[in-house]
Amino acid sequence: MTKKYTVLPAFLLSAFIASATPLASPDGKLAIEPGLDSAGHPTYSVSFNGLPVVSSGILGLKADEADFTSFAEIKEGAVVAEDNTWKPVWGEFETIRDNYTEMPVEYTTSDGRKITVRFRAYNDGVAFRYEIPEQQKVNYLTLRDEATTFPLAEDLSVFAIPGDYDTDERLYVESPVSQLGKRMRVRRHTESSGIPGVSVQTPLMAKSTKNKLYVNIHEAALVGYPAMALEVDTANIVFKAHLTPDRNGVRGYLQAPFHTPWRTLIISDDARDILASQLILNLNEPCAIENTDWIKPMKFVGVWWEMFVGRSRTWAYSNKYNAKPGITDYSSLESNGRHPANTENVKKYIDFAAENGIDGVLVEGWNEGWEDWAGWRKNRQFIFDKAYPDFDVEALRDYAAEKGVKLIMHHETAANAADYERQLDRAFQFMVDNNYPAVKTGYVGHIIPRSEYHSSQWMVDHYLHVAQRAADYKIMVDSHEAVRPTGLCRTWPNWIAQESARGGEFESMGGNPPEHTCLLPFTRLKGGPMDYTPGLFQADLSYYGEGKNGGGKTTLARQLALYVTMASPLQMACDLPENYNRFPDAFQFIRDVPLDWSDSRWLEAEPGDYITVARREKNGNDWYIGGVTDENARIAMLDFSFLEPGKKYTATIYEDGADADFRSNQQSYNIRKIKVNSKTKLKQKVAPGGGFAIQIKAADDLAGL
């Protein structure tokens, strides 16, 4: 069915608004209603259970060559309904249901240019994207602006980090939209990155204080386009899309036919549904890799944390700074004696991994270039196939293979993406030759090409290119400082994790307040798994006696919970082996916890306050529960009805000790075993800044143990 409306000139009927049929979600609870206002702007409104969520948001794109913000005609296309299931290579569920209704709406300008806005309504949210079809008079487009706005029907309370072209490694601010200007703690960087006024980054989490309403705003399938931040109009409670420009002010270079990423709103009256939503993955294309056998979740340890915790260790091999990589003969340099990426030390980590069933060892600081950490000042810094003299690539390759452990390579590009692309094939071939199945990439610094930012179009293309090229070499990628993810790991499951948020490393730099990990699953993790690096047992860094005080804002038991609440197919056990050896009974949980799940059930959740989730391991019957709280102690209410009725289970509970507190008594924990079944209800105490982790095994699986 198609309908056609013509907009009357504004002077004839100034209040005229043409609207298309609202598109309802399969369960009828959500609706998205396209329209055209009296000025010819395309609009959309969103409602949930009849409650307005977005009221008359504006749509449109503006390019130098063509303006797609004002139209004369709106034509509604036929509604299609889809209901499929698909299986991710790894993830939180074995099977994901993709169930939606879809309607394309075509807008035509008075001079005949066309754009289609494709709307989708799922039971867990709505989405839309712009499609510029092939047509006469439209070919290349120099994109200047995306007009999309999200006028909220209510002054929602949001959890957001400041808008920024270059980093997502910020702490969240909780504030009503109207107060964001006053509450945004980090303004300086925002201003220097060029976003006018108040702005926020997505994924952004919002909740109503009046109605039962939770909204998450983000984007899905960011390909060939810049990442979106949101400008905030605090007076009118409106967010507006702010696309990352290059330094010439251009947002994107496009060619028709073309479509943008999806703009997504995950919506529910229950915060747990926001966590359970698979909308962003569903909006991404199916897996593009034919044979995925080589993509394997990995748990790993690494020399990495030694460099953060105050053992005065360095990524660099020598003290000779301002060396000239590629020119200097590194073999003539003298070691500074504080370089953990050396053969002997790495062997110890390999031994530890082998003894504890840990799959991999990450080695940072193994290659030439760290002596001159200022990559953006010149054209070349790191060499990705030349090891330092004390790192014996072949010996370690053979040693790791003997022990059944995989090495994970590190490519810190110092944000010199251009040079990384030049070296990429050689670097990946070097990895293949030396048995490295995974690489952690890094982009610390100012991007080269100098015209770009971390989230501009050129860089968005770069990260994807690296993941795609890595797939050709059967290499998994964990990118740090890359653009926030948008579900592309469905299409490229070898892009196994990303950082793209303030991670566990900040526990060595002032700490992450406990609410941070009660927020990340609602925000950053909606785009894909995070390499958060949990497992910090020695959070109080004064232990090392090197003038580092305080540090980690966590209890030990909470760190175990993070493996479940922050699910990722790539999980580090970040702490030093010696610290795990001090607490072997607690470390047992890290050894046991799976990385891949067949089912996930959120038992309790409130953004910024607490999260409790139960997950069943992939290819097995064991369940695991992770629970975290913010700075407040609480009692988690666990209902075990997710277990198979009639079956008996034993639960091993790793919990905060009675006197545990993230401020004063981090290492107080307790481990106990109880019998549970599907009728069990448990009140679980959680310390301030604490958490708990539970392993649940069916009693018959325990026979013979």
Catalytic residue annotation: 505
Task: Please report, as residue ranges, which positions from 170 to 199 form the binding site for Ca ion (by CB under 5 A).
Answer: none
The binding track of 478-517 with respect to Ca ion, each residue x by CB under 5 A or -, is --x-------------------------------------
| Segment contacting Ca ion by CB under 5 A, of 10-18, 385-393, 414-422, 476-484 | 476-484
Q: How many residues sit in the footprint of ligand NOJ (CB under 6 A)?
A: 8
Burial profile 581-620: b = 16 or more Cβ within 10 angstroms, e = fewer: eeeeebbbbbebbbbbbbebbbbbbebbbbbbbbbbbbee
Least distance CB 438 / ligand NOJ (angstroms): 14
Closest to Ca ion by CB, 41 or 480: 480
Omega before residue 257 within 30° of 0, cis:
yes
Closest to Ca ion by CB, 495 or 589: 495
Gap between the Cα atoms of 410 and 596, Å rounded: 23
- Max CA distance (Å), the chain: 84
Q: Work out what residue 364 binds among ligand NOJ, Ca ion, none; the CB cut-off runs from 5 to 8 Å by kind.
A: ligand NOJ
Least distance CB 444 / Ca ion (angstroms): 7
The binding track of 239-258 with respect to Ca ion, each residue x by CB under 5 A or -, is --------------------
Any alpha helices (H) in 243-311, and if so which ranges? 271-276, 279-282
610 binds ligand NOJ (CB under 6 A): no
Could you identify the residue written with the tokens 């913010």?
Answer: 630
Give strand pairing partners of 605: 611
Is the four-CA dihedral 627, 631, 635, 637 of positive or negative sign?
negative
Closest to ligand NOJ by CB, 164 or 505: 505
Decide: 206 and 157 in contact? Cβ < 8 Å.
Answer: yes
Could you identify the residue written with the tokens 């080589």?
Answer: 294
Element (H, E) at 424: helix 417-433
480 binds ligand NOJ (CB under 6 A): yes
Closest to Ca ion by CB, 39 or 509: 509
Q: Work out what residue 412 binds among ligand NOJ, Ca ion, none; the CB cut-off runs from 5 to 8 Å by kind.
A: ligand NOJ
Among 499, 515, 575, 655, binds ligand NOJ (CB under 6 A): 499
Least distance CB 276 / ligand NOJ (angstroms): 29
Amino acid making up residue 143:
L
Closest to ligand NOJ by CB, 480 or 484: 480
Gap between the Cα atoms of 136 and 114, Å rounded: 10
The binding track of 300-319 with respect to ligand NOJ, each residue x by CB under 6 A or -, is ----x---------------
* Dihedral angle over CA of 114, 118, 119, 123, nearest 10: 180
Tell me if residue 470 falls in helix, strand or coil: helix
CA distances from 341 to 27, 348, 385, 388, 534 (A): 55, 11, 15, 9, 21
User: What is the token pair recorded at 12?
Assistant: 């004839």
Task: Please report, as residue ranges, which positions from 394 to 413 form the binding site for ligand NOJ (by CB under 6 A).
Answer: 412
- For 594, residues 6+ apart whose C-beta sits below 8 A from its C-beta are 615, 617, 618, 620, 622, 624
Q: How many residues sit in the footprint of Ca ion (CB under 5 A)?
A: 1
Omega before residue 449 within 30° of 0, cis:
yes
Least distance CB 685 / Ca ion (angstroms): 34
Among 444, 671, 682, 698, binds ligand NOJ (CB under 6 A): 444
Q: Work out what residue 304 binds among Ca ion, ligand NOJ, none; the CB cut-off runs from 5 to 8 Å by kind.
A: ligand NOJ
Q: Are strands 495-498 and 476-479 parallel, antiparallel or unpaired?
A: parallel
The binding track of 31-60 with respect to ligand NOJ, each residue x by CB under 6 A or -, is ------------------------------
Among 35, 437, 442, 551, binds ligand NOJ (CB under 6 A): 442
DSSP 185-244: S--HHHHHTT--SSEEESSEEEE-SSSS-EEEEEEE---SS--EEEEEETTTTEEEEEEP
Task: Please report, as residue ranges, which positions from 453 to 472 form the binding site for Ca ion (by CB under 5 A).
Answer: none
Q: Which residue is nearest to Ca ion (CB)?
A: 480
Is the four-CA dihedral 487, 489, 490, 492 of positive or negative sign?
positive
Task: Please report, as residue ranges, which positions from 364 to 383 form the binding site for ligand NOJ (by CB under 6 A).
Answer: 364
The binding track of 504-533 with respect to ligand NOJ, each residue x by CB under 6 A or -, is -x----------------------------
Q: Work out what residue 524 binds among Ca ion, ligand NOJ, none; the CB cut-off runs from 5 to 8 Å by kind.
A: none
Binding site for ligand NOJ (CB under 6 A): 304, 364, 412, 442, 444, 480, 499, 505
Binding site for Ca ion (CB under 5 A): 480
